[in-house]
């Protein structure tokens, strides 16, 4: 199942496998590569999207707001260690996210085909695909953070992991099985080391 755009965006900060952190959006080329892997998001911004430094900065701004708000959601549990030391204050994160969502005024539209159920969409007068893209990301974040899935948001605390994830079942503690394996190995190593220290 494809993840929501907001979760994909938050996941552009990830561990590098060696204890460091990678940023998929650290360059214009990286941002363009990531966006090309998001067909659903690109559909929300039809037209000739040119990913330049302005678009990259706007997407990174939405991500900063999202990750700060995700940290607030998972509290009192610790946030992702990737950016815990430089999170935006709540009012700044909210202001940034809401301003990004407001950049594209949209009107809800109901579509009723001859066959099948009615569907809805958004009608936009905005011509700039970059503005539409950033606004779509921000709207998805607003929808997620104000919806029921927010209650299942967690920060993965496996060694070296910096991801947020949506808990899919009651006992899930990590974002993926490999993180669970690393956490179990780390716990076993720590217990073994403590036992050896007592001998």
How many helices (H) and strands (E) in the chain? Answer: 7, 6
Of 13, 2, 4, 48, nearest in space to 145 by CA: 4
Whether the Cβ atoms of residue 83 and residue 163 lie closer than 8 Å to each other: no
What pTM, to 2 d.p., does this model score? Answer: 0.85
48-72 average pLDDT score: 97
Spell out the domain ranges in the chain. 5-198
Residue 47 Rama label (left phi>0; alpha psi -120 to 50; beta)? left
Q: pLDDT category, 177, cuts 50, 70, 90?
A: confident
| Residues shown for the chain | 199
Q: pLDDT category, 7, cuts 50, 70, 90?
A: very high
- Residue 1's pLDDT is what? 46
- Residue 173's pLDDT is what? 85
Q: Which CATH superfamily is domain 5-198 in?
A: Jann2411-like domain (1.10.3300.10)
DSSP 3-state assignment of 170? coil
Please give the mean pLDDT across all residues of the chain.
89
Q: Give the span between the Cα atoms of 131 and 100, in whole angstroms.
A: 8
The answer, yes or no, to whether residue 188 has pLDDT greater than 60, is: no
41-67 average pLDDT score: 93
DSSP 3-state assignment of 116? coil
């Amino acid at each position: 199942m494809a993840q929501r755009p907001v979760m994909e965006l938050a996941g552009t900060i990830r561990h590098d496998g060696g204890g460091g952190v990678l940023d998929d959006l650290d360059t214009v080329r990286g941002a363009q590569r990531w966006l090309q892997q998001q067909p659903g998001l690109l559909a929300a911004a039809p037209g000739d999207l040119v990913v330049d430094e302005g678009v990259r900065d706007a997407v990174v701004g939405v991500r900063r707001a999202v990750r700060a708000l995700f940290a607030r959601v998972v509290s009192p549990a610790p946030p992702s260690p990737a950016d815990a030391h430089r999170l935006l204050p709540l009012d700044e994160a909210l202001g940034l996210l809401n301003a990004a969502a407001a950049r594209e005024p949209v009107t809800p539209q109901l579509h009723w085909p001859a066959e099948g159920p009615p569907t809805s969409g958004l009608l936009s007068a905005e011509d700039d695909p970059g503005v539409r893209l950033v606004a779509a990301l921000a709207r998805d974040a607003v929808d997620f953070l104000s919806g029921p899935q927010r209650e299942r948001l967690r920060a993965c605390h496996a060694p070296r992991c910096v991801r947020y994830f949506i808990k899919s079942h009651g006992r899930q503690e990590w974002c993926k099985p490999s993180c669970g394996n690393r956490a179990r190995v780390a716990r076993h190593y720590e217990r073994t080391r403590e036992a050896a220290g007592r001998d």
